[in-house]
Amino acid sequence: MKKQVGQGRRTQEALRQSEERFRLLVAHALDAVITIDIQGRITSWNPQAERLFGWAQAEVLGRLLSETIIPPTYREAHERGLARFRATGEGPVLGRRIELTGLHRNGTEFPVELAITPMRSGKTVLFSAFLRDITEAKRAEEARRQSEASFRLLFTSNPLPMWVYDVATMAFLEVNAAAVAHYGYSREEFLAMRITDIRPPEEVPRLEAILTGFGAEADPAVRRHAGTWTHRLKDGRIREVDIVSHAIDFAGRRAALVVAIDVTELRQTQASLAKSTERLRILHEIDRALIAAEAPVAIAEAVLRRLRDLLGVPRAIVNLFDLATGEVEWLAAAGRRRIRLGPGVRFPLSLMGDVEALRRGEPQVIDVAALPRGPEAEALLASGVHTYMVVPMIAGGELIGGLSFGGAPGEFSPEQIGIAQEVAAQLAIALAQARLHERVKRQAEELEQRVQERTRELSTANEQLQREVAERQRAEADADRANRAKSEFLSRMSHELRTPLNAILGFAQLLELEVERPADRESVEQIAKGGRHLLTLINEILDIARIEAGQLPLSPEPVRVGDAIQRVLDLTRPLAATRRIELETGGAALHPEHVWADQQRLQQVLLNLVSNGIKYNRDAGRLTVACDAAEADRIRISVKDTGPGIAPALRERLFQPFDRLGAEQHGVEGTGLGLALSKRLVEAMGGTIGVESVPSAGSTFWVEFLRAESPIDRLARTEPSPAVLAAPAERDGTVLYIEDNLSNLRLVERTLALRPGVKLIPAMQGRLGLALAQQHRPDLILLDLHLPDISGEQVLRELQGDPGLRQTPVVVLSADATPGQIQRLLAAGVRAYLTKPLDVRQLLALLDEVLRTGGGA
């Protein structure tokens, strides 16, 4: 019994210990462990279950498990399973791991793994449920599934060729469709090949070197490889391929996943793009140098090295041709390493090939071996040049040089030729332009220099000229001053001399009346004669002085030749009579003609010539005053005597003042000034004077003046219609015309004939005019300013000083049309100033107005 008891106690103890172990096991189990009874009520609930479902053990004991941890939608199934087990003692879920959805106390659902085991203890059946949260496991599995799917997608459907190979054996393990399409092998073929089979043999050693250790390292940088490789397609074509490979684990093998990008076309395109960019850059460089007006050598330098590289040749040279000397000169040469610039290297043009062909633009290929043996060919071969091409440089149709390039023997590609031609053409333009620019610059500099020299010369000349001008101005001013002083002196002198002379002459005349003794009479006669001589002398000196000072007033107008001659002859007739000299006229046909001269001064000249012709004549000789038409519409008046004539040697001196050629010794009266004055007067009137003489037969002095239209003719030519000239109403009146020019007198006479009621009184001298004015009290006085005795202005002053005549309107008729003079006389009170040639209508209008208004206004 004791043993039994002891046995029972031991058994109980063992049971208790076993239960305790179980409890501890459950309490510390990793899974949630829940037990339920046959009704489904919770009988135990370990700490993991508390954590998993959020319920404490105390809260859930006795509760239905389905209500506690099964979401409502699954509860029914749970209940059904339990009921079936109750009825049959079996159920599909028992003893198996199943997945179902658990419900947390807070309402969230989550996947759980469940294993239910029935435990029989006597008659009681308990179920123990082991539950585990499988959210994480689920998520991980989903991720793996997705990653596998996307890997598949990336690999199989990738447009880039991809494959996986065994790093150890180099055998293909997998390929994608793009690889099959690109390389031309089927998948099966691929999988029977090694990666070395898609490469040309020369690439294999490099591949093997890279594969050694590939993927063995853990370092991701080493586990990846990228590079460019040459691959061979099934059809044998060679391609350039960019490769990226990653070390991967493939079904337990050390493998590599490869992505291959065929860059053959891309590389070709890039290369040709780079070439054409470089080509453009070279052309642009030439343009830039051209625009920057760089020197030829700088232009060549800017492009030569790049051109050499672009052409892919060791040497390129810009040669300039000197066609005249048959030589070529290097402008710039680019060798393998160096570039040589500037002139100095010259060689025969024959090294450039066929010059005529070059002219036509055809490039020349020269094989150095075919050149005649000589230093040049040796030098070329020595520097490694076997073949070279010369591309002509033509600018403006002119062959200026050649671009040569080459080196090793071989053909030149169309691309090289194209580039060289393009560059040569552009270079030719730039070089021609640069040369032109240099020439223009040189010329501009020369021109500049010449201009500077010329400017210097000019400024020197200018300074010289300025000095001369200043000197001349000074001299002129001096002369002017001297002249003014002289004429001032002369006019003073003449005044000072004339006053006592007038007294002498006056008293001499009185004495003449009183003395009776012949001896006294003779003395008085001498006094008078001396006085007259002095007076003439003074007058003539004064005239010359005035002419020389430009102060002699002249009033040129048409003068009737016949009148001038007649008047002179009338004046000299008494003198001629004393010598019994016969006076004659000739060329009377020309007497009605007019010459353009100052009436007074013409008279004075003719008077001088005629009196000389009498003075220096023989007694009872002859003097002829003739008229002839001369050249250039001139009229010549000549005075011919029968005197001793003048020796040719003396003629020069004739017109010199005070030179009497010895006449003073023959007792002939004279001053030696007559001819000198005459010459000056004639020339001042635009005429000429001269002499012809036959010694011992006589002399002929002549003057010539421009022919003038007579005022009468002019009137006839321009005469207005009678209607215009008709008097508005017949009125009587008297007009006094003070004028010494007969032609003018006649003209006015004829004009006034149109007014039959008007009487014209002519006066040919000023004093006479004044006397006639007082006597006749005319309605109008016409006044010439140039009168033989007193001046017209003097007449005007005296008229205005006479109370009886002050109101009489005076109209000046003058050839002098200077505005100053006209202004002055109008201001002095003249009614009108009519200039010659006379406007008849104007005169008649004035006359009509004066007669109508009764003058005086």
The count of chain residues that interact with ligand ADP, using the rule CB under 6 A, is 19
- Which x/- pattern over 662-691 shows residues binding ligand ADP (rule: CB under 6 A)? -x------xxxxxxx---------------
**Is there a contact between 610 and 624 (Cβ–Cβ < 8 Å)?**
no
Q: Which stretch binds ligand ADP (CB under 6 A): 92-100, 120-128, 190-198, 641-649?
A: 641-649
Interface with ligand ADP, residue 624, by CB under 6 A: no
Quote the least distance from Cβ 477 to ligand ADP, whole Å: 32
Interface with ligand ADP, residue 406, by CB under 6 A: no
Quote the least distance from Cβ 820 to ligand ADP, whole Å: 35
- How many Cα atoms are found within 13 Å in the side-chain-facing hemisphere of 16? 6
Interface with ligand ADP, residue 651, by CB under 6 A: no
Nearer to ligand ADP, 524 or 646 (CB): 646
- The residue of the chain with the least Cβ separation from ligand ADP equals 670
- Alpha-carbon gap, residue 227 to 206, rounded angstroms: 11
Work out the end-to-end distance of the chain between its first and last CA atoms, rounded to an integer number of angstroms.
Answer: 200
**Is there a contact between 299 and 437 (Cβ–Cβ < 8 Å)?**
no
Quote the least distance from Cβ 451 to ligand ADP, whole Å: 59
Interface with ligand ADP, residue 733, by CB under 6 A: no
Q: Which stretch binds ligand ADP (CB under 6 A): 145-153, 411-419, 659-667, 754-762?
A: 659-667
CB burial string 285-320: b at 16+ within 10 A, e below: bbeebbeeebebbebbbbbbbbbbebbebbbbbbbb
Nearer to ligand ADP, 46 or 608 (CB): 608
Q: Which of 661, 706, 754, 845 binds ligand ADP (CB under 6 A)?
A: 661
Q: Which is it for strands 810-814 and 780-784: parallel, antiparallel or unpaired?
A: parallel
- Alpha-carbon gap, residue 319 to 404, rounded angstroms: 7
Nearer to ligand ADP, 587 or 621 (CB): 621
Q: Which stretch binds ligand ADP (CB under 6 A): 211-219, 458-466, 608-616, 848-856?
A: 608-616
Phi-psi domain of 661 (left: phi exceeds 0; alpha: psi -120 through 50; beta: other): left
Interface with ligand ADP, residue 621, by CB under 6 A: no
Q: Which is it for strands 387-395 and 364-367: parallel, antiparallel or unpaired?
A: antiparallel
**Is there a contact between 787 and 766 (Cβ–Cβ < 8 Å)?**
yes
**Is there a contact between 409 and 443 (Cβ–Cβ < 8 Å)?**
no
Q: Which is it for strands 688-694 and 698-708: parallel, antiparallel or unpaired?
A: antiparallel
Burial label for 69, CB within 10 Å (0-12, 13-18, 19+), is buried
Interface with ligand ADP, residue 643, by CB under 6 A: yes
User: Strand locations in 467-564, DSSP E?
Assistant: 556-560
Q: Which stretch binds ligand ADP (CB under 6 A): 376-384, 415-423, 507-515, 611-619?
A: 611-619
Q: Which stretch binds ligand ADP (CB under 6 A): 58-66, 234-242, 656-664, 724-732?
A: 656-664
| Number of other CB atoms surrounding residue 427 within 10 Å | 31
Quote the least distance from Cβ 641 to ligand ADP, whole Å: 5
- Which x/- pattern over 687-716 shows residues binding ligand ADP (rule: CB under 6 A)? ------------x-----------------
Helices 599-615 and 674-684, packing angle to 10 deg: 150
Quote the least distance from Cβ 741 to ligand ADP, whole Å: 26
Touching ligand ADP, residues 118-177 (CB under 6 A): none
Q: Which is it for strands 622-630 and 634-641: parallel, antiparallel or unpaired?
A: antiparallel
Nearer to ligand ADP, 245 or 611 (CB): 611
**Is there a contact between 527 and 504 (Cβ–Cβ < 8 Å)?**
yes
Residue reference for tokens 């353009």: 596
Nearer to ligand ADP, 281 or 660 (CB): 660
- Alpha-carbon gap, residue 246 to 254, rounded angstroms: 11
CB contact set of 573 (below 8 Å; sequence gap of 6+): 583
Q: Is the N-terminal amide bond of 363 cis, ω within 30° of 0?
A: no
H or E segment at 344?
A: none
Quote the least distance from Cβ 638 to ligand ADP, whole Å: 11
Interface with ligand ADP, residue 54, by CB under 6 A: no
- Alpha-carbon gap, residue 319 to 328, rounded angstroms: 6
Q: Which stretch binds ligand ADP (CB under 6 A): 235-243, 248-256, 360-368, 610-618?
A: 610-618
Q: Which stretch binds ligand ADP (CB under 6 A): 91-99, 483-491, 607-615, 821-829?
A: 607-615
Q: Which of 163, 616, 737, 833 binds ligand ADP (CB under 6 A)?
A: 616
Nearer to ligand ADP, 702 or 705 (CB): 702
Q: Which of 545, 646, 782, 812 binds ligand ADP (CB under 6 A)?
A: 646
CB burial string 788-821: b at 16+ within 10 A, e below: eeeebbebbebbbeeeebeebbbbbbbbbeeeeb
Touching ligand ADP, residues 460-519 (CB under 6 A): none
Q: Which stretch binds ligand ADP (CB under 6 A): 261-269, 394-402, 452-460, 638-646?
A: 638-646
Quote the least distance from Cβ 708 to ligand ADP, whole Å: 27
Touching ligand ADP, residues 828-857 (CB under 6 A): none
Q: Which is it for strands 387-395 and 733-738: parallel, antiparallel or unpaired?
A: unpaired
Interface with ligand ADP, residue 48, by CB under 6 A: no
Q: Which of 531, 558, 613, 766 binds ligand ADP (CB under 6 A)?
A: 613
Interface with ligand ADP, residue 641, by CB under 6 A: yes
Q: Which stretch binds ligand ADP (CB under 6 A): 193-201, 253-261, 485-493, 609-617?
A: 609-617
Nearer to ligand ADP, 610 or 822 (CB): 610
CA 710 to chain centre: 64
Q: Which residues bind ligand ADP (CB under 6 A)?
A: 608, 612-613, 616, 641, 643, 646, 654, 660-661, 663, 670-676, 699
